[in-house]
Amino acid sequence: MNIREATTEDFDQIWPIFHEIASAGETYAYPRDITKEQARKFWMEKPEKTYVIEDDGDIMGTYYIKTNQQGPGDHVCNCGYMVASEARGRGLATAMCEHSQERALELGYKAMQFNFVASSNEGAIRLWHKLGFTTVGRLPKAFHHPAKGYIDALVMYKWLDI
Amino acid sequence: MNIREATTEDFDQIWPIFHEIASAGETYAYPRDITKEQARKFWMEKPEKTYVIEDDGDIMGTYYIKTNQQGPGDHVCNCGYMVASEARGRGLATAMCEHSQERALELGYKAMQFNFVASSNEGAIRLWHKLGFTTVGRLPKAFHHPAKGYIDALVMYKWLDI
């Protein structure tokens, strides 16, 4: 496995991963009918940095890092991670999250925040806890899940700068 | 007092209020050195709607309303309110917050979320509680206050659609 910064050309391989996850509507706050061009803006342009994780030369996952709030909040970053369905359970999310925490410190951030974790996404929540994140907030019925209806979303947070 | 939708021309009167609050760096997550043009984008362009509150024909406060998260989160809105320093303590924030909750329901939102309330901003926190908001999250040291250093920020939330 190799993690490297994404290039513009990588988005053709990122898009199928993004599209599968966004169109399912179960984990990410993107419109389920998001277009490739909109997705490119959100994932590649708006963030400060975007990375891909390769396995045998194929892109199997991706993450972004960006400033979560400006001004008095600009020492806290936000990240989002996506793993191709065929590559799950192999530690790619863990590898990307650990990589992102190192990069965050290098970029000058002191903390990392996940703003909107669907409370049904138990695998992710378990993983973030294992990697040192704390659930610091619970937004009642803030996530409209396609099967479960209005469910809570969690805010998770980790201070990185020990 | 009269609350009405803001026009492009109103920003010349909004800017001194915005600038005083943003440059103090004590309450809002905007860069303290934000320019008028950047502020115009954040306050007038990006939100779904922007309103002003007039007192004797002068703009004494303003608020915006926008979607807080897309897709599975797009039933929750976010608002920000600013009151001119010379007009504080006269109920303008209360009037705007009540107005915004009505407008939110009319626009189809079901809940309202404040993402980043400085824990030092006790007057605002007391007011939001009085108006039915609950503190649903606490972000440790997420707000870098110019005098107090790293302080907690609160996430506040109200379900509107009874």
Q: Cβ of A11 under 8 Å from any chain B Cβ?
A: no
Which residue of B26, B42, B116, B145 is the best one to mutate when testing the A interface, meaning the one whose CB has the most A CBs within 10 A? Answer: B116
d(CA B116, CA B127): 15
Q: Which residues of chain A have pLDDT under 50?
A: none
Task: For residue B74, list chain A residues with Cβ-Cβ distance below 8 A.
Answer: 29, 31, 144
**DSSP codes of every residue in A60-80:** EEEEEEEESSSGGGTTEEEEE
- Contact between chains at B118 and A71 (C-beta distance less than 8 A): no
Contact status, residue B136 vs residue B111, Cβ threshold 8 Å = no
What is the C-alpha to C-alpha distance for residues A98 and A135, in angstroms, rounded to an integer?
18
- Chain B within 8 Å of A19 (Cβ-Cβ)? no
Q: Tell me how far the alpha carbon of residue A129 is from its chain's centroid.
A: 15
Name the residue in chain A with its Cα closest to that of B25.
Answer: A72
In a mutational test of the B interface, the residue from A27, A116, A154 whose CB has the highest number of chain B CBs within 10 Å is: A116
Q: B118 touching A, CB under 8 A?
A: yes
pLDDT digits (tens, 9 = 90+) for B62-114: 999 999 999 999 999 999 999 999 999 999 999 999 999 999 999 999 999 99
Chain B residues in contact with A30 by the CB 8 A cut-off are 70-71
Burial label for B150, CB within 10 Å (0-12, 13-18, 19+), is middle
pLDDT of B137: 98
Q: Give the model's pLDDT for residue A160.
A: 98
pLDDT at residue B93 in the model: 97
Where in the sequence is the domain holding B153, given as residue range(s)? 2-159
Task: Dump pLDDT digits (tens) for B23-64.
Answer: 999 999 999 999 999 999 999 999 999 999 999 889 999 999
Distance CA B76, CA A143 (A): 9
Residues A137, B138: C-beta atoms closer than 8 Å: yes
Q: Which residues of A110-125 are buried (b: 16+ CB within 10 A; e: fewer)?
A: bbbbbbbbbbbbeebb
Tell whether B145 is within 8 A of chain A (Cβ): yes
pLDDT score recorded for residue B161: 78
Question: Strand A2-5 and strand B76-83: pairing?
Answer: unpaired
DSSP A8-67: GGGHHHHHHHHHHHHHHTSS-SS-TT--HHHHHIIIIISSSEEEEEEETTEEEEEEEEEE
Q: Would you say A2 and A61 are in contact if contact means Cβ atoms under 8 Å apart?
A: no
pLDDT for the residue B95: 98
- CATH classification of the domain holding A79: 3.40.630.30
Q: Are strands B149-159 and B134-145 parallel, antiparallel or unpaired?
A: antiparallel
Give me the number of domains chain A comprises.
1
Q: Chain A window 73-102: which residues touch B at a Cβ cutoff of 8 Å?
A: 73-76
A55: closest CA of chain B, how far (Å): 30
| Tens digit of each residue's pLDDT (9 = 90 or more) over B110-147 | 999 999 999 999 999 999 999 999 999 999 999 999 99
* pLDDT computed for residue B148 by the predictor: 98
ipTM: 0.95
Cut 0.95: pTM above it = yes
pLDDT for A102: 98
Q: What is the DSSP letter of B41?
A: I
Is B162's pLDDT higher than 80?
Answer: no
State residue B72 phi and psi, 5-degree precision. -65, -5
